[in-house]
């Protein structure tokens, strides 16, 4: 990914913060998921009064894409913070890392964590989910 693409991913993830539905935690998360065909799928976190049905921003983006027949991905950008203020990286939770493991090559899938267009770091899925269990383990 070149710098322009990375910046577009960050911008797109930040735009999603306004849709984040967080009446309980106030912690807003936005995601931009880049499919191999070049399309970006967006996501925000969606909370629920019963708490456990809450869906993270990353999974919202993945499930939107997969539900439209897209299952090959290159990268995801995740941003988040209390009341939508981006002070620290919002790293994907364990459940979201596992969903990434289902569809993505851990050695090549890029996870962009950002607090702004000028402040970001990129990790592979393998770096944030070492020894991950995925579809290949069942072959
Ligand atoms: N959250 C995400 O959207 N993604 C993550 O990877 C971590 C947590 C959301 C869920 C909940 O709405 C809020 O952040 C606080 O946990």
The 8-class DSSP code of residue 19 comes to G
How is 33-71 classified by DSSP, letter by letter? EEETTS-EEEEE-B--TTSTT-B-HHHHHHHHHHTTT--
Q: Decide whether any atom of ligand 1 lies within 6 Å of the 95 Cβ.
A: no
Q: For the segment 11-35, what is each residue's pLDDT rounded down to a tens digit?
A: 999 999 999 999 999 999 999 999 9
Q: For the segment 68-97, what is each residue's pLDDT rounded down to a tens digit?
A: 999 999 999 999 999 999 999 999 999 999
Atom of ligand 1 nearest to the CA of 46: 12
R_g of the chain, CA atoms, integer Å: 14
Contact 9, 34 (CB under 8 A): yes
Atom of ligand 1 nearest to the CA of 57: 3
Q: Which residues, in sequence order, are bridge partners of residue 111?
A: 76, 123
Closest residue (by CA) to atom 6 of ligand 1?
92
């Amino acid at each position: 990914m070149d710098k322009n693409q990375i910046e577009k991913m960050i911008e797109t993830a930040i735009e999603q913060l306004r849709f984040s539905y967080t009446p309980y935690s106030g912690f807003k998360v936005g995601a931009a998921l880049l499919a191999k065909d070049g399309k970006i799928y967006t996501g925000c976190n969606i909370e629920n009064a019963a708490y456990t049905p809450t869906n993270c921003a990353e999974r919202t983006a993945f499930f939107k894409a997969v539900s439209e027949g897209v299952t090959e991905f290159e990268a995801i950008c995740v941003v988040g913070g209390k009341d939508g203020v981006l002070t620290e990286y919002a790293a994907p939770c364990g459940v979201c890392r596992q969903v990434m493991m289902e569809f993505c090559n851990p050695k090549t899938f890029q996870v962009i964590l950002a607090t702004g267009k000028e402040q970001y770091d990129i990790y592979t899925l393998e770096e944030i989910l070492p020894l991950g269990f995925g579809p290949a383990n069942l072959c």
